[in-house]
Copies of this chain bind each other. A is one copy, B any other.
Amino acid sequence: MGYYWHNDKIMSRAPSKPTSPKPPWTATNSAGYPAPAALAVDVVVLTVRDHKLLALALERPDGALALPGGFVAQTESPEGTATRKLNEKTGLEQTYVEQLATFADPQRDPRGWIPTIAYLALVPADTEPTDPGARWINSTSHRALAFDHEQILRTALDRVRGKLWWSNIVVGILPGEFTLADARHVYSAIADNDYDAGTFARDIRATGLVTATGSTRQDTGGRPAALYRFTEHQPEWGAGRRKRVRT
């Protein structure tokens, strides 16, 4: 397996003649102690399409699949790095992003001591990757991911399922107006469940997180559906229901 920096804009700002461009990289701080070679960020980008929960993966030169990621510049917050990478891969400016967990086993990256902070991002269903190497993969059945990215993806799936009915996390997938059928398909795909339409309508309203806009939409041959939107775009907790979510 070949080593290389992620395709990262930070790197283009770096000195033109690095002293030792080949990994493994090491670092020493000004007090004389060993320091991490870099701080990385990996982003689990999720969406729901065709009733399936999908994750964004990048095909690497060696053919392996990996999560989008990059290095944190000294001048930015890791969340800034995460949204920057997200913008580079999808063109999105704003969506739902939250920190997931940090993976810092010294052996996790063959390029050196590189802790990574994993983030979770949810994006609209019609998001198309702008990076030619990026593609949507099924979040549960796919070719194995490189590094510890399988573990990171599993952590993301646990998180999104755990918060599904307790927060407005789905606002990342449905940022605008949607019908309750739209929402039900998204929730069903994430929970790996098949929610009853009537019960779903009752319970999504009971969370207090959505508002009816007053207008309707008709995509199909049936009765027009009322449109809703999430009241708040910032992360928020709802009333909480104990709905069944397969794990």
A220 is an interface residue with CB less than 8 A from chain B: no
A35 is an interface residue with CB less than 8 A from chain B: yes
Q: A74-B106, A102-B102, A240-B242 are in contact. Are A36 and B33 (CB under 8 A)?
A: no
Cross-chain contact A18 with B38 (CB below 8 angstroms) = no
Nearest CB of chain B from residue A115's CB, rounded to whole Å: 6
A18–B19 CA distance with the chains assembled, in angstroms: 22
A49–B15 CA distance with the chains assembled, in angstroms: 55
Q: Main secondary structure on chain A at its contact with chain B?
A: loop
A17 is an interface residue with CB less than 8 A from chain B: yes
Of A20-28, A58-66, A174-182, the segment with at least 4 beta carbons within 8 Å of chain B is A20-28
Cross-chain contact A21 with B25 (CB below 8 angstroms) = no
A82-120 interface with B by 8 A CB criterion? 99, 101-102, 104-106, 112-113, 115, 117
| Number of interface residues, chain A, beta carbon within 8 A | 45
A25–B36 CA distance with the chains assembled, in angstroms: 13
A75 is an interface residue with CB less than 8 A from chain B: yes
Cross-chain contact B36 with A39 (CB below 8 angstroms) = yes
Contacts of A106 in B (CB 8 A): 74-77
Contacts of A171 in B (CB 8 A): none
Most B Cβ at <10 Å: residue of A32, A35, A72: A35
> Known contacts A26-B29, A78-B104; can you find 13 more A-B pairs with CB under 8 A?
A14-B32, A15-B33, A18-B31, A19-B32, A20-B30, A25-B30, A27-B28, A29-B35, A31-B37, A36-B36, A36-B39, A75-B106, A78-B102
